[in-house]
Amino acid sequence: MSFAQSTFNANFFTHFEATDDQLASTDDVSWGESALFISGNVSPKLSYLAEASYLAPAYRDKAFKLERIQLRYEINREHAFSLGKIHTPVNDWNDSFHHGRIFFPTINRPLAFKRFIPVHEIGARLSGQNILGGEFGYDIVVGSGQSAGDEAFLNGIKSQTYTLRWHPLDSANLLFSYYRDELTAGDAAERSGIMNTSGRGDSQTADGAVSKVEYELFSLSATRDVGNWSVRLELSKNRTENGQFNDASFLYTGYHFDDTHTLYGLYDEVNVKAKEAFFKSGIERRFGLGYRHYFSVNASVKIEARRHVIRTPGAGTFEDNELQMQLAFGF
């Protein structure tokens, strides 16, 4: 029996933000990242997915970026093989949300994404779902590594990701992952932005002499929906060169008044230890309250009032009360 017809699906996402804060890097009003998303099937077992984003040149060196492009082959009901530029399945946030903001539970990604999270990876992915009684899943990814940028396997296989998922209930998910990579300081790292999709990362070398850095990341994600409540926890620990562990934690708790109105709290923190050689040391913390409303399936507004604290060794403490609003659309 032949597949009746191939499928094609295209969507566009964009958002606008207004921010009141003291950070010089933030505009009062801005047009955020826009994304074109394409997916479909070419045969019953072969599907494709591509996502490209645009951000005004004022905010990013490359205005247009190819965020994802992948082919997926279904080996059988439980297992699949993917190839291409993918979202690295290191935590549930990165595996669940694409670049459009309409589905983000908060206005911004967790702070760890600016520093430690390898958002994309060019490589091969073997994944399984609904195995071992239907409650478990896994992912194994071998990739080019963050320092290769968009050049597939520039230096061979440099990164590995091992992910285990457990969903004991429909409304509860746990994810554990281990990621390792060999980062390269210098041109290649700058080209890829290392751990930062926007290319505005604050990664650094200690004295310019470091050429290759072993990087390890351990992550735990937990999501739970109970009645009108939703909770999302993203924890991670990372280190370079087997050194001291840096920490990142993100907690979101939302109360849904109905299908369209949600009040939520967020706590977000990264802590880079003093002896860290590759990433800037210091503590950054955001916490506050937010409100989200879906006007329709295609449009949402979020408003957040937050306290933002940045402690940088040798540079003192920055503290600010922020107010941010985001209008997000998806068509």
CB < 8 Å & 24+ apart, contacts of 52-56: 53/99, 55/198, 56/30, 56/31
Smallest distance from other proteins to CB 103, Å: 5
- Measured from the CB atom, is 256 or 273 closer to other proteins? 256
Residue 272 and residue 238: Cα distance in Å, rounded? 9
Place of tokens 């490209």: 52
- Measured from the CB atom, is 50 or 248 closer to other proteins? 50
Helices (H), the chain: 92-96, 112-115, 187-192
Which residues are CB-neighbours of 29 under 8 A, at least 6 positions away? 16, 17, 18, 19
Listing DSSP states for 219-254 in one string gives EEEEEEEETTEEEEEEEEEEEETT-PPEEEEEEEEE
Q: Which of 118, 101, 104, 106 is nearest to 33 (CA)?
A: 101
Smallest distance from other proteins to CB 275, Å: 37
- Measured from the CB atom, is 40 or 57 closer to other proteins? 40
Smallest distance from other proteins to CB 110, Å: 17
Q: Which of 302, 285, 232 is nearest to 111 (CA)?
A: 285
- Measured from the CB atom, is 25 or 76 closer to other proteins? 76
Contact residues: other proteins, CB under 8 A: 1, 3-5, 7, 9, 11, 37, 39-41, 44-45, 47, 49, 68, 70, 72, 74-77, 86-87, 95-98, 100, 102-103, 129-130, 170, 226-229, 259-260, 294, 296-297, 330
The backbone torsions φ and ψ at residue 223, rounded to the nearest 5 degrees and listed phi first, read: -130, 145
- Measured from the CB atom, is 77 or 200 closer to other proteins? 77
Smallest distance from other proteins to CB 192, Å: 22
- Measured from the CB atom, is 171 or 321 closer to other proteins? 171
Smallest distance from other proteins to CB 251, Å: 20
Smallest distance from other proteins to CB 307, Å: 28
Smallest distance from other proteins to CB 321, Å: 31
Smallest distance from other proteins to CB 223, Å: 12
Q: Which of 212, 131, 141, 231 is nearest to 177 (CA)?
A: 141
The backbone torsions φ and ψ at residue 83, rounded to the nearest 5 degrees and listed phi first, read: -140, 140
Q: What token pair was written down for 126?
A: 């073997």
- Measured from the CB atom, is 48 or 153 closer to other proteins? 48
Residue 205 and residue 220: Cα distance in Å, rounded? 27
- Measured from the CB atom, is 100 or 201 closer to other proteins? 100
Listing DSSP states for 279-314 in one string gives BPPEEEEEEEEEEEEEEETTEEEEEEEEEEEEEETT
